[in-house]
Amino acid sequence: MRYKALDHLAIAVKSREESIPVYRDTLGFKFDRLGESPGMGIYQGFFAYEDGRYLALIEPMEAGNAVDRAIQGRGEGFYLLSIEIDDLEKSKKELAGKGVRLVNTEAPRGPFFVHPRSACGMFIQLTQRDWPDRPAPERTPNPGAPYRWLDHVVIGVKNLDEAITTYRDTLGFKLERTAVLEANGVKSAFMGLEDGHFLELAEPLGPETPVGRALERRGEGVYLIAIAVKDVAERVKALKAKGVEVIGGAKPGDQVFIHPRSAKGILIQLVERK
Query: β-strands 42-48, 30-37: how paired?
Result: antiparallel
CATH architecture of 149-272: Roll (3.10)
Domain ranges of the chain: 3-127, 149-272
Q: Please tell me whether residue 116 adopts helix, strand or coil conformation.
A: helix
User: In tens digits, what is the pLDDT along the chain, a chain of 274 residues?
Assistant: 999 999 999 999 999 999 999 999 999 999 999 999 999 999 999 999 999 999 999 999 999 999 999 999 999 999 999 999 999 999 999 999 999 999 999 988 889 999 999 999 999 999 999 888 888 888 999 998 999 999 999 999 999 999 999 999 999 999 999 999 999 999 999 999 999 999 999 999 999 999 999 999 999 999 999 999 999 999 999 999 999 999 998 777 789 999 999 999 999 999 999 8
Span between the terminal Cα atoms of the chain, in Å? 31
Q: Decide: 273 and 151 in contact? Cβ < 8 Å.
A: yes
Q: Do the domains 3-127 and 149-272 sit in the same CATH topology, yes or no? A: yes
In angstroms, rounded to a whole number, what is the distance separating the alpha carbons of residues 119 and 222? Answer: 11
Q: What CATH number should be reported for the domain whose range is 3-127? A: 3.10.180.10
DSSP 8-state class, residue 230: S
Integer CA distances (angstroms), 200 to 101, 177, 187, 195, 223, in order: 22, 10, 10, 15, 10
**Displacement of CA 74 from its chain's centroid (Å):** 16
What's the pTM value of the predicted model, to 2 decimals? 0.96
